[in-house]
Homo-oligomer: A and B are copies of this chain.
Amino acid sequence: MRALVESTVAPMPCAIGVDVGRTKIAAGVVTGDGRVLAERVVAAPSHLDQLAVVSQVAAVVEELAGTHPEARRLGVGTPEVVEWPSGRVLDAGGSGQSFALRDLLEEAVSLPTVVDSDANMAAWAEFRAGSAVGTRNAVIVTVGTGVGGGIVTDGQLYRGSTGFAGELGHIVVQPEGVRCQCGNRGCLEALSSGTALTRNGRRAAQADPAGMIARLAGSAEQVTGETVFEAALQGDPQAVALFGELGHWLGIGMAAVVLFFDPDVVVVGGGLARTGDLLLGPAGTSMNAHCPVRGGRMPRLEAAAHPRSSGVLGAGMLALDSFAQAR
């Protein structure tokens, strides 16, 4: 039905958006009004082999372009560090080498292509078609396995002087806290992420083998963040308290951002955003409590409108916004 409508009126501009993850590649056709059509998910090759990533992305793009020939631009988000606007991946796969991801993709698929970090793509999705629409200054915090961030100001992504802006996951919020994989202690993502939830859930299950968390998982070793979420949904006070702990630290990190950047809105995305008020409730309380000098003038705190599809959506929207209409 939609295809029929699109073929009989002037087609709406659309683009293919791709979100390259560590384990899977998601892609879809993104419309100018912020919808994702015809989504595809395939397994991702190792990020150590960026040429294989190019091939895999090209294959899924060709498939989508075959059924949606009106999608004539490509946007790709990646967890790697990306130089803008060249779309070069810096330190590709930890090799220390840079890699011309955008140029190689553009050559492979023959579409005008943009490449940016997945955090920037998520931020762009929320700014263009989500919880940050209409704002002047917005920060999007993605809370998943790790913690990332994207910044929009005056209608544009802010990437900083070297493209590293928004690296919220490694802000130190508890210097004597748990060790982070970066080597420091008490980084935000060591204390408030899916990884932290799993770790804290296992600790709770070990301490209370008869508790709901342990019972739902079967054993402490089998506890994941999902287990804690499930237990919290069933009202287990211990699981709810674990979300409270994550929210406490997330709030301290967001308060630092608010004090420095003074945005209109802080949007929380990433996998943990769908836990809703379990995380956002205590996070908002903590954020406000750590900004007393602002005298109550606080930004809105919102869950992402597109916690699952923001990578694909933002990549497609950024491609649409970066290239003048190609037809």
- Residues on A lying within 8 angstroms of B by beta carbon are 91, 135-137, 149, 151, 153, 158-176, 182-184, 252, 255-257, 259-264, 289-295, 297, 299
A167 touches B294 (CB 8 A): yes
Q: A160-B263, A171-B260 are in contact. List 20 more A-B contacts (CB 8 A).
A: A136-B161, A137-B161, A149-B260, A153-B153, A159-B262, A160-B261, A161-B263, A161-B299, A162-B297, A163-B262, A167-B260, A167-B293, A170-B293, A171-B256, A172-B173, A172-B256, A174-B175, A184-B292, A257-B260, A261-B261
Interface centre among A151, A166, A293 (most CB of B within 10 A): A293
Smallest CB–CB gap between A179 and chain B, Å?
12
- 16 examples of A-B residue contacts, CB within 8 angstroms: A135-B161, A160-B262, A162-B294, A162-B297, A164-B259, A165-B262, A167-B259, A170-B291, A170-B292, A170-B293, A171-B259, A173-B175, A175-B252, A184-B290, A260-B260, A261-B261
Task: Provide the residues of chain B in CB contact with A260, threshold 8 Å.
Answer: 149, 151, 165-168, 171, 256-257, 260-261
Tell me the complex Cα distance, A60–B86, Å.
53
Per the bound structure, the CA–CA distance linking A42 and B63 in Å amounts to 75
Assembly CA distance A161 to B170 (angstroms)? 25
| Nearest B residue to A149, CB-CB | B260
B264 in contact with A161 (CB, 8 Å): yes
Closest CB in chain B relative to A156 CB, distance in Å: 10
**Using Cβ atoms and an 8 Å threshold, which residues of chain B touch A153?**
153, 158
A137 adjacent to B160 (CB under 8 Å): yes
